[in-house]
Every structure is written in C-alpha cells, then in structure tokens.
Chains A and B, each alone.
Chain A
Amino acid sequence: KQEVTQIPAALSVPEGENLVLNCSFTDSAIYNLQWFRQDPGKGLTSLLLIQSSQREQTSGRLNASLDKSSGRSTLYIAASQPGDSATYLCAVKIGGGGYQKVTFGIGTKLQVIP
C-alpha cells in the first residue's frame, strides 16, 4: 500500500528565506507526483506536476524535484513571501488509463513571517 509522508508537519520562516518541503513515498512505481497548496477553508491549487520520467519542474519561485529510486520529492520555494503561507500537499498517482489510485500526504503547514 502506498504511503505518503510529508515532513515537517509545520514550518515557520522569516520572509525572504529559501525553504524546502519534503515528500516521501513507499512505492516507487508511480505515474506522476503533484504538488498543491491549500489555503484555509479553500480548495487545492495545483502548483507543479512531475511525470515519472521527469526529474524536476519549475514555475516561478517554485522548483519541484523527483527521485523515484529513493521515493522522494522536494518542493523548493525561493525568497519566501507572506503570501506563500498555506498548507502544501503532495499527491502520488499510480496506474494509468482506466485505473487510478491517488495517495495524498497530510501536508506541511507553512507560515512566512513578515
């Protein structure tokens, strides 16, 4: 059974700091991995999607890496801002076509202090 763990559960950093969020998974036979942010009481916003054949994806100040062999992904946030405060979730998908299995981590709650 796929298990997804996100460490740390919570993180507080001063504005401007670079930071790394971690996501680990137990079954390396993944289809893709997706990072989301969730603001309190809101839905999930997609940040980055990494296919199993890719090593990293970048969008603005965000960079996500994937190492399937070690079962790890990291989300790097450069020059953090108070607006980055949210819970960050990673989701691992296995299967393809008619079969879909998605496992989410519980998330890392990030607070960026002005």
Chain B
Amino acid sequence: NAGVTQTPKFRVLKTGQSMTLLCAQDMNHEYMYWYRQDPGMGLRLIHYSVGEGTTAKGEVPDGYNVSRLKKQNFLLGLESAAPSQTSVYFCASSFEGGNEQFFGPGTRLTVL
C-alpha cells in the first residue's frame, strides 16, 4: 500500500495563477482532509469530505475549492493564488471520523 500520496511535492506560482493539488489514498478510507501548515501555527483544516461526492468547509476554506469525484481522490484547487496561500499543504484520510488520520508527505507551495 502506498498510503496517502500527494502531487506535486513542490510548486511555485505567481499571484493570480490557478492550480490543483491532488491527493490519493489506497486504503479505502471514507474521510479525507486538506490542511495547511504555517510557521508558528498549528495545522488548520481547509476542507474535508466524509465520502465520495461530498465536501464540507473546515476552519479556513476561503480561496480554496475541493472535489471528491472518486473515493480514493481528493482535489484541492486554488482559483486565483495569493501570497497568503504560501504554505505547506497536507492531505489526510481516515476510515471513519473517529479513526486515526493518515497523512501524506505534503506539498510545499510558494506564491510570488
């Protein structure tokens, strides 16, 4: 099992550009999450999904959109990137809401 994988690992964008981060899990987990991690702050939940075709807002959803068209994939989109979105993005999954979360290796995004 590959677990949770994320692509790309690194990306540099210019302000206003768009991009999509891909998260894939092969553990047949129902729940998937997107977090961002910034220096001096705890990880913050952006969006999450409790099953295929569902999405919900987390703590910091503004400027991001997500889609869960397939159970194994959770996409995070930035329509118009801003410097404030410079961060490390982590995807996670869990079998159910009460189970442990498994994290991907992260995507380091810089917005100039």
Contacts and interface: CB of A to CB of B under 8 A. Distances in A.
Contact of B59 (A4, A42, A101, A105): A101
Given A42-B105, A97-B50, A51 B59 contact: no
A79 interface: no
B45 A101 contact: yes
A91 interface: yes
A13 interface: no
Contact of B33 (A42, A46, A102): A102
A108 to B, nearest CB: 12
Contact of B100 (A4, A49, A95, A105): A49
Contacts of A36: 103
B39 to A, nearest CB: 9
A43 interface: yes
Nearest to B59: A101
Main secondary structure, interface of A, reads strand
B43 interface: yes
Nearest to B45: A102
Contact of B41 (A46, A97, A98, A106): A106
Contact of B45 (A4, A46, A100): A100
B64 interface: no
A45 B43 CA distance: 14
A34 interface: yes
A76 B77 CA distance: 39
12 contacts: A32-B98, A42-B105, A42-B106, A43-B90, A44-B43, A46-B100, A96-B97, A97-B97, A98-B50, A100-B97, A103-B42, A105-B42
Given A4-B42, A42-B106, 5 more contacts: A31-B98, A91-B101, A93-B97, A99-B56, A106-B41
Query: Which 4 A/B pairs are nearest by Cβ-Cβ distance?
Result: A104-B42, A44-B103, A49-B100, A104-B43
